[in-house]
Structure 1
Amino acid sequence: MKLKIDNFILAIIMVIIIAYFFPYWGSKASPIPLSQIASIGVSLIFFFYGLKLNPEKLKNGLKNWKLHILVQLSTFLVFPIIVLLFYPFINTEESHNLWLSLFFLAALPSTVSSSVVMVSIAKGNIPAAIFNASISGLIGVVITPLWMGLFLTQDASGFSLGDIYIKLFTEILLPVVLGFALQKFLGKYVQKYQKQLALFDKSIILVIIYKSFSESFEENVFSSVQLKDLLLIMVAITFLFYTMYYLTGYLAKKLKFNQEDSITAQFCGTKKSLVHGTVFSKILFPATYPVGLILLPLMLFHALQIFIISIVASKLAKRKDKE
């Protein structure tokens, strides 16, 4: 089987390389207001996200409640608890930062587009995938800051859940609600220009990644990350992915899900959103935090999940075709 590397992953690699050689344009001293551009872009991303939320599909999606509970508990409870189990073994500042970056990954909502696309390829329950991926982003606005607040309040001066929720409300929830309210009038345009909007979403994410890594390279944040740390991150995210994949599959079997629902549970319950991760990192972590380091496991996990799930989805599709 011929494997194709995702273009967005290639773009992320290119942006990180550019940030390494040309960090000035993304640094705090840059004349280009990348922070403001990113903030406006994020609000627009979630406005368009609200336009995509079809009320009828969301209402119909509520019926399959066992599947939804499994996916959301996997995403927001089981994932973070697995990483929490390793917290007692953290004994240095460097290992704490690496652990916190993994915990941030675990506390994030599920990704939307790739979950739905992969479920579609594997011939799973597409309406349930759309519902779970959509609702996960909204739940994450509340749950992810609560999880991170357990640790950031201890380390970060000026960390305030109240201020964070105000930022999340103005930059994310308000645009989503506005988009949802206008869905009846503008929803058709979102469908018509979905390719262009997908390109816009990815462009804003690349801007945030460039700025985060530019600042990290300027401050030599990655000088503390040794090869063994990078290998440890790779082992950790691989362990996390496969643990969640087989655990959700086992629970789906115990709950007597059909094959379509099992596929949706495994695909949606193991994904983590790079979009929400880059946006939340900008809001949750103070300026003193090495955000580039915080995003590193998330970007590696994003590449890993797309790579593995695309192979699994293709195999499942072929099996279904034979049947």
Structure 2
Amino acid sequence: MGLLERLRKEWFILGIVLVIAVARLEPGVGVKGGPLKPEITITYIAVSAIFFNSGLSLKTEELTSALMHVKLHLFVQIFTLVFFPTAIWVFLQLLSITPINEWLLKGLQTVGCMPPPVSSAVILTKAVGGNEVSLHFGFF
């Protein structure tokens, strides 16, 4: 596989690295209230555009088929909303007996109870050829 072919295949990861590098050089562009207005553009426009664009490429047959995978959807919901927060809680109980900062533990607890970033999961799943249709239904 040639370099150009590899770059085309890994376009999304390269794009992420490029955006991170630009943000490191000029962080003021993406701050709250800055020229990009991320509190509006990211929260409402970008996430909606990702789901809309991703949904346009789904086939109706795949959607109806994925809708029938009740066990998969149940697994995703239980893992995301029950197992993971419980595992984080147990982990935090173990960490609480160490001299670790209490505010770090509270931050970990908050992050452990937050929903996963679905828009990133959709893009990455599509990029690697995963079952994007089930992913859409698994988070809703």
Shared topology, TM-score over 0.5?
yes
1:285-304 to 2 correspondences below 5 Å: 285=129, 289-297=130-138, 299-300=139-140
Cα distance in 1 for residues equivalent to 2:39 and 2:72:
37
Cα distance in 1 for residues equivalent to 2:121 and 2:67:
23
User: Does the aligned pair in 2 maintain the 1:208–1:278 contact within 8 Å?
Assistant: no
1:251 matched residue in structure 2: 94
TM-aligned CA distance change 1:201 to 1:254, over 3 Å: farther
Cα distance in 1 for residues equivalent to 2:8 and 2:84:
29
TM-aligned CA distance change 1:231 to 1:170, over 3 Å: closer
1:262 matched residue in structure 2: 105
TM-score (norm 2): 0.67
Picking from 48, 73, 82, the partner of 1:203 is 48
User: Does the aligned pair in 1 maintain the 2:30–2:38 contact within 8 Å?
Assistant: no
Cα distance in 2 for residues equivalent to 1:175 and 1:270:
28
Could you say which structure has the greater relative contact order, defined with CA pairs below 8 angstroms and 6 or more residues apart? 1
* Secondary structure at the counterpart of residue 191 of structure 1: coil
TM-aligned CA distance change 1:204 to 1:223, over 3 Å: closer
> What do the CA deviations read for 1:237-293 (whole angstroms, capped 9, x no partner)?
3332333231232133033334322110122245422232122112112xxx53111
Identity of aligned residues (%): 13
* Secondary structure at the counterpart of residue 254 of structure 1: coil
1:41 matched residue in structure 2: none
Q: Does 2:52 correspond to 1:237? A: no
> What do the CA deviations read for 1:148-173 (whole angstroms, capped 9, x no partner)?
xxxxxxxxxxxxxx668722333321
2:122 matched residue in structure 1: 278
TM-aligned CA distance change 1:170 to 1:294, over 3 Å: same
* Secondary structure at the counterpart of residue 100 of structure 2: coil
RMSD: 3.1
Cα distance in 2 for residues equivalent to 1:261 and 1:187:
25
Structure 2: stretches of 5+ with no match in the other structure: 1-5
